[in-house]
Structure 1
Amino acid sequence: MDTVRRFQLSQIPAASWAYVRRAPGTFVWLAILFVTTMVMHRLSPDALNHVLGNRSTNLHQLQEDPIRVLITSALWLAGGGWLGYFVLFNLFHVPAERWLGTWRWLSVAAIAHVGATYLSEGVLYLAIRHGQAPESAVNTLDVGVSYALAGVTAVLTYRISSPWRFLYVIGVLLVYGLPLLGTLTFTAIGHFSAVLIGLACYPIARSRPGRWDPGEWVRSIRARVVAHR
């Protein structure tokens, strides 16, 4: 038994590396976020506000240097909760990158990030113009990876076999749509916009083979458990 256990433990590094290299873009992104999160924890509040403010996709920065802030804003986490995003990236980005391929996955993430940013900031701009938001809102902090995550989460709809696909997309729409029923914020609009953009990325996903059947997956796990009894 000890020999078997040692053998299994010895396989962990190779298995971990095999897992990581099948979604290289996701784990490079996570590595960058880990570094920037460590930097955030070491900055004073004033220094942190300055750093994030210069990387924020707010109205002011989008007018001054849109390409720079659209890229750099996706390399920082507003709340600094790297571990939570590590879990979410593994649940959604990893399977999406493996299924779509790195470049298609990155395209979906980028389209959702950029599209939702401009849609949400456009709504904020209209609110300022009509006196429903203060002028200072042009400098509102807006950094993070959640729009890209929402878009990728949505595009995974096309990875799932029917009828599970419909349950999944309903769940995604509820998770991101319910915040719109409360106090309406530009981030809630951005997240829901990112979901719609992800669903609109069907042309990127339609040619990809390999549908995932949750029912079949559960049955295979059950069969393995029975076989090892």
Structure 2
Amino acid sequence: MLPTPAGTPFTFVYRVLLGVTSLIGAYVDPAVLHALLRGSSTDVAHLVRSPELVLVGSALWVAGGVASPFALGFVLVLTALERRIGGLRTAGVFLLGHVLATLATEVPVGLAVLAGHLPDSSLHRLDYGVSFGVAAGTGALAGLLRPWLRVPLLAAFGGMLLRDLAAFTDPMTNWGHLIALAIGIATWPLVRRWHTRRAVPAGGDAPA
């Protein structure tokens, strides 16, 4: 259930990086931390100027710190997913959810500002963290589980996301979580094929 350097190198190294940034967040001056987070934010203004930089930088922070639900989900979900489909493919699922859910929530904001429906300040909303990637990983992992595990996982996680959306405290991020979960579910044909190939030795037959 926990990442190891040999068994799940992607999750292990990524978790170490998140631990480092969490320590930075805990001990640096608040003004410095705010500047770091602002510079990593995937808001519309940053996505227009330096999309690659902020899409990577924003994924190096955990919103809410290492004790947040998504921090725990990162370790458990990505470890389980990487053990089933491998590190590179797990990274691909994570990035797919992180990037597409970010664009799906930020592009409408930019268009709304251009149309005059939102103020210019909306172009600079603080947006960072691993939660979209974790949501996509959860959706993908569910497709590899037996129904008696898949259904409760999706019901519990989806229910939590819907409850957050209903609270209306951060609707753009909450919609992004649901979109990322749907992206993960959409990868089921791929992740199931990857899992089957990983489980069958080269030149061997699939288990009966």
**Does structure 1 residue 209 correspond to structure 2 residue 193?**
no
Tell me, yes or no, if the aligned pair for 1:30 and 1:86 is still in contact at 8 Å.
Answer: no
Match of 1:60 in 2: 45
Q: Using the alignment, how far apart are the partners of 1:78 and 1:168 within structure 2?
A: 22
1:117 matched to 2:86? The reply is no
Cα gap change, 1:90 to 1:189, in 2 (>3 Å):
same
What is the number of equivalent residue pairs in this alignment?
193
Matches within 5 A, 1:64-213: 64-79=49-64, 81-84=65-68, 87-183=72-168, 185-207=171-193, 208-209=195-196
The answer to whether the Cα contact below 8 Å between 2:138 and 2:181 also exists between their aligned partners in 1 is yes
Report matched runs for 1:17-32 at 5 Å: 19-32=4-17
Residue 21 of structure 2 aligns with an amino acid whose one-letter code is T
- Which letter does structure 1 place at the counterpart of 2:171? T
SS of match in other structure, 2:123:
helix
> CA deviation digits over 1:31-51, x for unaligned, max 9?
011111111222222211111
RMSD: 2.2
Distance between the aligned counterparts of 2:167 and 2:62, measured in 1?
Answer: 24
Distance (whole Å) between structure 2 residues aligned to residue 177 and residue 122 of structure 1: 22
Q: What TM-score comes out, normalization by structure 2 length? A: 0.83
Instruction: Summarize deviations over 1:87-132 as a string: whole Å, max 9, x none.
Output: 3233211001111111111110000000000001123224434555
Q: SS of 2:154's equivalent?
A: helix
Aligned ranges for residues 1-12 of structure 1 at < 5 Å? none
Q: Check if 1:38 corresponds to 2:13.
A: no
Query: AA paired with 2:45?
Result: H
Letter in 1 for 2:63: A
Structure 2 unaligned blocks of 5 or more:
198-208
Identity rate of aligned residues, in percent?
A: 31
Q: Once the 2 structures are TM-superposed, how far is the Cα of residue 179 of structure 1 from its aligned partner?
A: 2.6
1:161-212 CA distance string (max 9 Å, x none) = 12442333233322222333342621011111100111111232121139xx
Gaps of 5+ in 1: 1-15, 211-229
